Structure 1
Amino acid sequence: MTTLVAPARPVSIGLTGTTSLLRLAARRDRVLVPVSAFGLAAFVALSAQATFALFPDLKSALASMASTLANPALVAMYGPISSLGIDSIATLKSVLLGGVFLALLAYVVVRRHTRTEEEAGRLELLGAGVVGRRAALTAAVLLGTSAVLLTVVLTVVWSVAVGLDPAGSVALGVSWLVMGLSWVGVTAVAAQLTSSTRGTAAWSLGALAVAFLVRAVGDTAADDSPARFLSWLSPLGWGVKVSPYGANRFWVVVLGLLLYVVLVAAAYLLLERRDLGSGVLPSRAGHERSTIGTAGALTRRLARGTLLGWVIAYVILGLVLGSIAGSIETFVDSPEVADMLRSMGGDAGSITDIYFATELHFAAVGASALAIALVTRMHTEETTNRLEALLATPVRRVSWALGHVALAVVASAVVMVVSTTVAGLVHGADAGDIGGTVARLTGAALSTLPAVWVVMACALLLYGALPRFTGLAWAALIVFLLLGEFGDLLDLPQWLVDLSPFTHLPALPGGTFEWAPLVALTVVAAALGAVGVAALRRRDIG
């Protein structure tokens, strides 16, 4: 008798089609990743150049800043300075904040090509073809890792080119590498735990917030306090512990790589324990009856987690700004620093007024990011087919879109007012005039909103007319930031600087309030928004 033996099937590890998915993901992010990498590298290089132009030598820098570098509020926000060298002073704000921004880039890339694709149903369609189960996650992790590496390499090269110490610049790259790769892994795990993009955002961004707070507590604790050890429990703390332009602890990269490997491995294990379209953690059942009766109420309900997180962040920002304001007079006792602040925040009022004007302009950039996030949420609702189901009811697309716009307008104003109210309470208590300080700062915060509306309108225009390029709104914000905040310091052509809406904001508090530029910005925002809504009304959904 002859026994027939079936040929053995090759063992599949589920990576079939990874290369194709990686190419597709890279094509979709061909603008987002390079622009973000360039913007973060420019953040370091341009800040360093401005510092070198401001302080001709280390002695003048220390004479102006020594009393402020140890301020607990400054340490909580930017981390401890690595050394008292001119290079570390030039990159004081860049090390930690740049690493946080890089972590956000890693989060956006990995979430977009894992949970977002899965929630939209596109991953299920691809999985019906010759695509392995692990291919999508692998492609997302590889693209996120590549985005981090590209940013790090570009930053190191540009930092050396502007005159920063080569060894310290490589250490800065190591610091960012630790933080960026950590959030590639964190987001990969978060995408397996939940069944929605909002859940992934809550886990990943929540972990980022916790890591920042744990590091802040550790960095601001007394030298002999056990709480100092908390800095070593946070990946952001690891990035700070690299100490670029100081101790240059290159070995810390081992911690980041180990966490990256462990988290990515955990993501693959969790992937095998869930069904496509679901998460490891069970979804909470909804109520049998809902009190939501309008599209606007639904929009607000879906955004409440995002709004809560931003309000908390701006409360912390207000505490930091109000705490630092008390020592700003000693910080700017040199004419060079005063000239820099005046070039960035205006030349009217006291030094403290100029300081608040400068910081409020940066806070307005953050509020613009919130407005973009709320407006571009419409694109997510459309691509996941939830909008189509909503429009099958009496809801109309224009009223639905205007609900998102109204929420973005109100939310951006709320976070600015919350921040200045807290800062006014803290600084006003020291100055003995709480009510007057809060009122002046609140008025200054409201004067920045027209610029925020212009940025929001750009996002609305892109979504309405060119939905495929909605993500370019983030690139526009980066360009506006670089032009508006660093254009004068770098002596860029005035016509180029004027393209940023932040350039036209009044220098408040302390400066002269002028209606004309604010009215002009409001008109521009209204015009761009109207074109975006009209385009949305005329095009097909989906």
Structure 2
Amino acid sequence: MNEFAGTRHLVRLALRRDRVVLPLWVLVLGVIPVTTTGVYDQLYPDAASRAALTATTSANPTLSLLYGRAFDLSTAGGFTAWRYGVFISLFVGLACVFTVTRHTRQEEETGRQELLSSTVTGRKAPLTAALLVAGTGALATGLIIAIGLIAAHLPAGGAIAFGLGITLNGAVFTGVAAVTVQLAEFSRTANGLASAVLGTTFLLRAVGDSAGGLGWLSWLSPIGWGNEIRPFAGERWWVPPLMLGTAILLAGVAYVVLPRRDIGMGILPARPGPASGPAGLRSPFALAARLHRGALTGWLVGFAAGGVLTGAMADGIGDLVGNSEQTKQIFERMGGASALVAAFLAVMASLFGMIAALYAVQAMLRMRGEETAVRLEPVLATRVTRMRWAAGHLVFSLGGSALLLAVAGVGVGLTHGLRVHDVGGQIPAMLGATMAQLPAVWAVGGASMLLFGFLPAYSAASWTVASLSLALTLYGPILRLPQPVLDISPFTHIPKLPGATAAPAPMLWLTAIALVALALGLTGFKRRDIG
């Protein structure tokens, strides 16, 4: 039988399963760059303001660490490529990794792939279908970026180079995931390995772009390659073939390794577990802790690093925006504070809250993952009740998000306090600013629990709720959307700390809404059938 038989049908199946998630991340990541081009001329209207921006960026290695090297900030295209290139590449890479794992290793882990393989399905068809779906998503994101920038009257060459870099970066990490799903036996391990590669390449790029004399490190990172294409700054058209060749090489390695393992197994042998469980693993909470500890640890490291970077660059934000009144108005509209640094810190505190909401959703959806993998039923066959089992996961979804915000607040307050010589005052202020986001985070988590309790088949729509809240809060003020539309996001109602008055009423209402949603979701879970 043809080893690729059934690929077309598996692609259709994967696209149907991802009909919500895939278009969502494609549209959100594809539209973001266009939002900057329309306001660039207002933010930096003359040559003097653009020269000041370039000088400040060059003198601040923290900005290069975060956004990459800026090759030309005198044009809207160059500014857009610098501002969004690294982070869009990062998120596209993550999306491609999760897509490949979901349609390969996760299918084997749940036993569905073995059933499909008993039909007229070739051995290489599932991997090929996953690569095509993930690659299509990356390609669609790059096309939307390129078309949007061309429609905004930016040079076509730079727009195509920018979109091509994003697409090929996604292709490279699609290849990385294709290899890791052959190595690991479980989807979590495969995602962890691929994410570790992605994080390592991000760090290599960060060090290479910010540390003098270590620029060669950026060439060890696919994310760095995307930046080295230099969109709108004298494009280097010889870099994309390097990225394409790497993606093809990684996919080839995956195809070579694939026949060397059995379905459901990985190249790396799984370690046999102990004959009996440890004494500390005899409760539903202990089981939840074992399941969540790896993900929570990774998120904590990320929030700690983000907090330190934010605090390090906060004091220089005034130099970055110069004397542009339009920029100050945007920061004040988003942050609600009169002082520019306080407004910037308020925006970042809100951003930490929105990212923590993504963790809360991920932790909530772990319950659905345990259910669909048929690991929940054996647990409930013991003396463990549904409520006790769910409570263990809720502790990590709600308490874990609170811990993330606390770590970010301390990180920002510590580094910013060291720079302004006020550690004792900045740590409590920033801790309060980040923890103020918690009611909104819990509201998003409550919506996820509500879907899990009553509409478990649509639990993945929780990502839509979180992404919509993030998009409205980040880009709604810039696009001047009507206030009723902005109010859809729970983060709109949170006081913009530090700098604003801490109004308790909105936070109390959001907490009440979150608790009601959680209670209703638990009630629905208690009464519905498992599976």
TM-score bucket of the superposed structures, by smaller chain: over 0.9
Residue number in structure 2 paired with 1:137: 127
Partner amino acid, structure 1, of 2:253: A
Q: Which runs of 5+ in 1 are unaligned?
A: 1-11
After TM superposition, give the deviation of residue 399 of structure 1 in Å: 2.2
Separation of aligned partners in 1, 2:501 and 2:274: 53
Separation of aligned partners in 2, 1:57 and 1:378: 54
Relative to 1, partners in 2 of residues 1:263 and 1:287: Cα closer, same or farther, differing over 3 Å? Answer: same
SS in 2 for 1:15: coil
What TM-score do the two structures reach when normalised by structure 2? 0.96
After TM superposition, give the deviation of residue 370 of structure 1 in Å: 1.0
Relative to 1, partners in 2 of residues 1:355 and 1:146: Cα closer, same or farther, differing over 3 Å? Answer: same
Question: What is the correspondence of 1:451-490 to structure 2 with a 5 Å cutoff?
Answer: 451-490=440-479
Task: Give per-residue Cα distances to partners, 1:119-146, cap 9 Å, x unaligned.
Answer: 1111111111111111111111111111
Separation of aligned partners in 2, 1:66 and 1:92: 14
After TM superposition, give the deviation of residue 267 of structure 1 in Å: 1.1
Could you tell me which of 478, 484, 499 is aligned with 1:510?
A: 499
After TM superposition, give the deviation of residue 58 of structure 1 in Å: 4.6
Identity value in percent: 37
Of the structure 1 ranges 73-82 and 506-515, higher mean CA displacement relative to structure 2 is found in 73-82
Residue number in structure 2 paired with 1:241: 228
Relative to 1, partners in 2 of residues 1:92 and 1:524: Cα closer, same or farther, differing over 3 Å? Answer: farther
Partner amino acid, structure 2, of 1:345: G
Q: Which runs of 5+ in 2 are unaligned?
A: none
After TM superposition, give the deviation of residue 308 of structure 1 in Å: 1.3
Relative to 1, partners in 2 of residues 1:65 and 1:512: Cα closer, same or farther, differing over 3 Å? Answer: farther
After TM superposition, give the deviation of residue 64 of structure 1 in Å: 5.0
Residue number in structure 2 paired with 1:7: none
After TM superposition, give the deviation of residue 505 of structure 1 in Å: 1.3
Separation of aligned partners in 2, 1:218 and 1:402: 44
Partner amino acid, structure 2, of 1:141: L
After TM superposition, give the deviation of residue 70 of structure 1 in Å: 3.8
Relative to 1, partners in 2 of residues 1:230 and 1:486: Cα closer, same or farther, differing over 3 Å? Answer: same
In the alignment, is residue 152 of structure 1 matched against residue 142 of structure 2?
yes
Relative to 1, partners in 2 of residues 1:49 and 1:93: Cα closer, same or farther, differing over 3 Å? Answer: same
Task: Give per-residue Cα distances to partners, 1:269-297, cap 9 Å, x unaligned.
Answer: 22111111111001122233322111111
Relative to 1, partners in 2 of residues 1:69 and 1:383: Cα closer, same or farther, differing over 3 Å? Answer: farther
The number of residues matched between the two structures is 527
Partner amino acid, structure 2, of 1:234: S
Could you tell me which of 163, 181, 192 is aligned with 1:173?
A: 163
Relative to 1, partners in 2 of residues 1:15 and 1:36: Cα closer, same or farther, differing over 3 Å? Answer: same
Relative to 1, partners in 2 of residues 1:58 and 1:521: Cα closer, same or farther, differing over 3 Å? Answer: farther
Relative to 1, partners in 2 of residues 1:493 and 1:151: Cα closer, same or farther, differing over 3 Å? Answer: same
After TM superposition, give the deviation of residue 91 of structure 1 in Å: 3.9
Partner amino acid, structure 1, of 2:347: T
In the alignment, is residue 386 of structure 1 matched against residue 395 of structure 2?
no
Partner amino acid, structure 2, of 1:72: P
In the alignment, is residue 196 of structure 1 matched against residue 186 of structure 2?
yes
SS in 2 for 1:470: helix
What TM-score do the two structures reach when normalised by structure 1? 0.94
Q: Decide whether the 8 Å contact of 1:52 with 1:90 is kept in 2.
A: no
Residue number in structure 2 paired with 1:271: 258
Residue number in structure 2 paired with 1:343: 333
Partner amino acid, structure 2, of 1:427: H
Separation of aligned partners in 1, 2:110 and 2:4: 21
After TM superposition, give the deviation of residue 324 of structure 1 in Å: 0.5
Relative to 1, partners in 2 of residues 1:401 and 1:432: Cα closer, same or farther, differing over 3 Å? Answer: same
Residue number in structure 2 paired with 1:437: 426
SS in 2 for 1:455: helix
Residue number in structure 2 paired with 1:8: none
Separation of aligned partners in 1, 2:468 and 2:441: 14
Q: Decide whether the 8 Å contact of 1:57 with 1:86 is kept in 2.
A: no
After TM superposition, give the deviation of residue 86 of structure 1 in Å: 2.4
Separation of aligned partners in 2, 1:237 and 1:24: 34
Task: Give per-residue Cα distances to partners, 1:422-445, cap 9 Å, x unaligned.
Answer: 221111112121121111100111
Relative to 1, partners in 2 of residues 1:45 and 1:201: Cα closer, same or farther, differing over 3 Å? Answer: same
Residue number in structure 1 paired with 2:273: 286
Relative to 1, partners in 2 of residues 1:404 and 1:203: Cα closer, same or farther, differing over 3 Å? Answer: same
In the alignment, is residue 310 of structure 1 matched against residue 295 of structure 2?
no
Task: Give per-residue Cα distances to partners, 1:440-472, cap 9 Å, x unaligned.
Answer: 100111001111111112222222222222222
Of the structure 1 ranges 523-532 and 290-299, higher mean CA displacement relative to structure 2 is found in 523-532
After TM superposition, give the deviation of residue 261 of structure 1 in Å: 0.9
Task: Give per-residue Cα distances to partners, 1:358-400, cap 9 Å, x unaligned.
Answer: 1111111111111111111111111111111211111122222
Of the structure 1 ranges 290-299 and 202-211, higher mean CA displacement relative to structure 2 is found in 290-299
Question: What is the correspondence of 1:56-455 to structure 2 with a 5 Å cutoff?
Answer: 56-64=45-53, 66-87=55-76, 88-222=78-212, 225=213, 227-288=214-275, 289-290=277-278, 291-334=280-323, 335-348=325-338, 350-455=339-444
| Root mean square deviation of aligned Cα | 1.6
In the alignment, is residue 19 of structure 1 matched against residue 8 of structure 2?
yes
Residue number in structure 2 paired with 1:33: 22
SS in 2 for 1:248: coil
Separation of aligned partners in 2, 1:346 and 1:509: 9
Q: Decide whether the 8 Å contact of 1:361 with 1:448 is kept in 2.
A: yes
Relative to 1, partners in 2 of residues 1:61 and 1:270: Cα closer, same or farther, differing over 3 Å? Answer: same
